[in-house]
Structure 1
Amino acid sequence: MTATAVRRSARTSPSPRKPRPTYRWSSRAFVLPALAVVVVLLYLPFVWTGYLSLTEYDGLGDPEWVGLAKYAEMFTDEGFLAAVGNTLLWVVGTLVLPVGLGLLIAVLAHDLEGSFWYRLPFLLPYAISGIAVGVIWTFILQTDGALTQALRFLHLPGTELRWLLDAPLNTIVMILAATWQGAGVNALLFGIGLQSIPKEPLEAARLDGASGFTLFRTMTWPMLAPLTTVVVGLSIVGSLKTFDIVWGMTKGGPGTSSETLALSMYKASFVDHDYGLGAAIAVFLTVVTVAGSVLYLRRQLAPAREL
């Protein structure tokens, strides 16, 4: 057989097939129960909620199809617009106060011996439920409450302020209550991040003359960026669905002056029994939360993908 015939025979002869791995399908089978739970408990309820948002439904009888009427009603309602503004205020306040204060506590306690014990008092309020936090701070901030009496006893200004009755003051003091509850866990997370930073780059920066805020800005903060992305992302999602503290302190009042989107959704559904409007607010809140989270994470993770 000539060399040409050998080459032709090699080209025409079928190459042996590689056995298809079966372990992939067997491993995927273990994921199916968890996937089924997610579909049943998350996706199907969202689809049903989306359908209800296009109907008039009070919980009795069959839903009546009204199209986008509930969305039109939602966007023209002054209470809903106030809830959007309050929710945005919660987002900004949550990022500035609980996250910022948690970072400050973690940085100040990092180099101290027994730093965990310095962070522990700030962490304890996180073990209290949001409703309990609301009850505690209502006792402090209510009309002629503990704070007003303390200011009057010390002859300090502020006794005339109605902490929970005037907007936007009521939303601001509730953000302070949420800060009291959430700053400690942020300090714990940032403390873990600081402990994971290698010491060699910091020591090299100190030898080059960096110290204090300069060392933090140029070395520590960039190396905390991955953890900061997680903490800020969780804070954004948590602030967008704020409910328990507001319900425990003001129930959204007076009127709708301190309502958030989550509270508006609850009142429309379970107080006014307008399930179509409540579903429309729920869909809007879900879309805003998912869109905000995706845009933030894509913006933060884009530099990492470019490396």
Structure 2
Amino acid sequence: MSSSSRKARRQRAPLVWALPAVVVAFLFHYAAVAAGGWYAFTDWNGLTTPNYVGLANFRAILTNPDAVGALVNTLSLAVGFVIATNVIGLMLALALNAKLRSRFFLRSLFFAPVAISSLAIGYVWQFILEARGPLNTLLGLLGLQSLQRVWTADPTFSLWSVWLVMVWQFAGLCMAFYLAGLQSIPVELNEAAAVDGASSWRRFRRITFPLLAPAATISISVTTILGLRAFDQVMSLTRGGPGYASETLTTQIYKQTFVFGNFGYGAAFALVLTFLVLAVSGTQLLVLRARENRL
């Protein structure tokens, strides 16, 4: 057997090994998603035979104020979440990239919430934010009784209570992305700039921040998807209430499908969310990659 034929055989082998996993993923993921997408165009209630209704479910979503409100809440929560987690994560990474003796312990401490169940974190924070919870107790001790409220039951603050919990949980994930980026930057670049008299801010703006572009691309893309798909935190803290104040697309999918039995309508919500995630994250990725190439 010639060397070229042996090489071609070795190249084909990994593809054969991957084939069973590809088939399983197609059957249990992509085929299921495609079937769910078809139900979005029907009036299926989970029991009877589905009837094709065309775009009726999508028209109902666009004309329903509660559905439009859920879309606005989803986008507001995602934008605030992406900005806050990336700013805080970057600040933590810059602080813990220094040679502190406790830096490894602090990195683990800030990253720990990422590894904990979102539902568990939501229920803990529900206790913290309730009427007689630790937060209101602390505000009372500080003489700030005017700020006390039932945070998750207040229409003005319920959505931002969810935002607070999500930022607290995932800021450590962004920190890990930015730490990896910082540790890939050659120390000599900053040292040479310092010798030339560049200030800390100028070194950060001209050297560190541009070289963090790949880490920023990953961090922003991941947090965008997490923000748009937020579900566990909303359900454990507010269940979309009070009223529809903290309703999101994910909670609408759950309620319409499993609470009200409107499987076709719920599938339409799921399809809207899928295309929203693809459109936002795809556009974002293209813009951030283009920015990387310009730097």
What is the TM-score when the length of structure 1 is the normalising length?
0.88
Moved more, 27-36 or 239-248: 27-36
1:139 corresponds to: 127
Distance 2:14 2:202 in 1: 50
Q: Deviations over 1:227-255 (max 9, x none)?
A: 11001100000100000011000111112
Counterpart mapping for 1:31-50 below 5 A = 31-50=18-37
Give the letter aligned to residue 168 of structure 2: W
> Which protein has the larger Cα radius of gyration, Structure 1 or Structure 2?
1
| Contact persistence 1:148–1:158 (CA under 8 A) | no
Asked if 1:112 is matched to 2:99, the reply is yes
Q: Which residue of 2 aligns with 1:86?
A: 73
TM-score, normalization by structure 2: 0.91
**Cα deviation digits, residues 85-132 of structure 1 (max 9, x gap):** 111111111112122111101101211323222222222222221111
Q: CA RMSD in A?
A: 2.1
Structure 1 counterpart of 2:180: 192
Q: Flag the 1:110–1:265 CA change in 2: closer, same or farther, 3 A.
A: same
- When residues 211 and 37 of structure 1 are mapped into structure 2, their CA distance, relative to the original with a 3 A threshold, is farther
Q: Deviation at 1:200? A: 1.4
Alignment length, in residue pairs?
Answer: 290
**Counterpart Cα distance in 2 of 1:180 and 1:297:** 25
Gaps of 5+ in 1: 1-17
Q: Is 1:64 aligned with 2:58?
A: no
Q: Residues 229 and 297 of structure 1 are in contact (CA less than 8 Å); yes or no, is this contact kept in structure 2?
A: yes
Aligned-pair identity (%): 35
- Any conservation in 2 of the 1:168–1:258 contact (CA below 8 Å)? no
Match of 2:60 in 1: 73
Mean alpha-carbon deviation: is it higher for 120-129 or for 79-88?
120-129
Structure 2, unmatched stretches of 5+, are: none
Aligned mates of 2:293, 2:21 — CA distance in 1: 29
Structure 1, residues 234-278: CA drift from partner, whole Å, max 9, x if none? 000010000001100011111221011111111111111100011
Distance 2:213 2:110 in 1: 23
Contact 2:230 2:250 in 1 (8 A): yes
1:233 aligns with 2:221: yes
- The answer to whether the 8 A contact 1:103-1:187 is kept is yes
Aligned AA (2:62): F
The residue identity in structure 1 corresponding to 2:77 is: W
One-letter identity of the residue aligned with 1:193 = G
Q: Deviations over 1:46-67 (max 9, x none)?
A: 2111110111111112112111
Q: 1:163 to 1:306 in 2, by over 3 A?
A: closer
Aligned AA (1:147): L
C-alpha separation between the residues in 1 aligned to 2:202 and 2:63? 49
